[in-house]
Amino acid sequence: MTLEQGAHVRVNGIRQHYLRFGDGGPGLVIVPGIVSPAILWQHVARRLAANFACYVLDVRGRGLSEAGPQLDYGSAACARDLLEFVGALGLVRPTVIGHSMGARIAVHAAARSPDAFGSLVLVDPPTSGPGRRPYPIPKARTLSLLYAATRGEAMAAIMASPAKPWPEPLQQLRAEWLSTCDERAVHVAYDGFHADDLFADLARTTAPVSLIAAGEGGVISDEDIAEMRTLRTDLHAVRVPGVGHQMQAEDFDTFARVLDECLRRQPNAPRNAP
């Protein structure tokens, strides 16, 4: 049986919303990207639920989690949300899959609390930071989608976007839920991409780390991967040709195959993992 439910829990002083898929197996937490509410990762979670108790977070300021002018949207606050969520639900060293901003949050949390997670799977995390090249996806493009969503015109804006198209059901969900993302959270996340040091955080982690880098989009360079390997000599890195930054939506079959490979390498992988 696959259990699917949504719920709220109070952690780190906020209302944290999450979706749960699966009723057995090791714990696994998915932390989505900058304007991706949890529901946009349900197709991934449903597949993982055969082998994991899978939780997908609405990062603060997105989806049904708490938002508002009083909230700190910085990476440290989001990392603390993740750590306290794991504690509140009694998860023991879960695997954490983070995409884009979510990967940065996961690494920051793992650097602050090295024993909290059993393993990390980082999906195309921005490698921008102090003294580094900027994040290649313009903030203006992300904000234009958000503004269109607040006007009820998200689908037209999505269809006009230069990014690779998503399957229609996911496009519809994206158009429906994009307006739940707080504009200020987007500004703070982009600022953090350039002010926070992903590499310093990675150097402080101890859990096994897998990296999935998109073949297109330029978010992670080969030089970035080489530098990461000097910090974590055990890093398992996969470059996936033909997919872009939103690979979990653009080409789910390819993404799922690579993700399966990464999860099989983790020390807490179920014996019957795909």
Q: Is 19 helix (H, G, I), strand (E, B) or coil?
A: strand
- The model carries a pTM of 0.96
Buried b (16+ CB within 10 A) or exposed e, 209-225: bbbbbbeebebbeeebb
Q: Is 108 helix (H, G, I), strand (E, B) or coil?
A: helix
Q: Which amino acid is at 196?
A: D
**CATH 3.40.50.1820 for the 4-264 domain, yes or no:** yes
| pLDDT per residue as tens, the chain (274 positions) | 456 899 999 999 999 999 999 988 999 999 999 999 999 999 999 999 999 999 999 999 999 999 999 999 999 999 999 999 999 999 999 999 999 999 999 999 999 999 999 999 999 999 999 999 999 999 999 999 999 999 999 999 998 887 788 999 999 999 999 999 999 999 999 999 999 999 999 999 999 999 999 999 999 999 999 999 999 999 999 999 999 999 999 999 999 999 999 999 876 666 455 4
Count the residues in the chain: 274
**Residue spans per domain, the chain:** 4-264
Q: Which amino acid is at 23?
A: D
Query: Tokens for 86?
Result: 């794991």
Cα 113 to its chain centre, rounded Å, is 18
What pLDDT score does 1 carry? 40
Dist CA 144 CA 124 (whole Å): 22
Dist CA 40 CA 35 (whole Å): 10
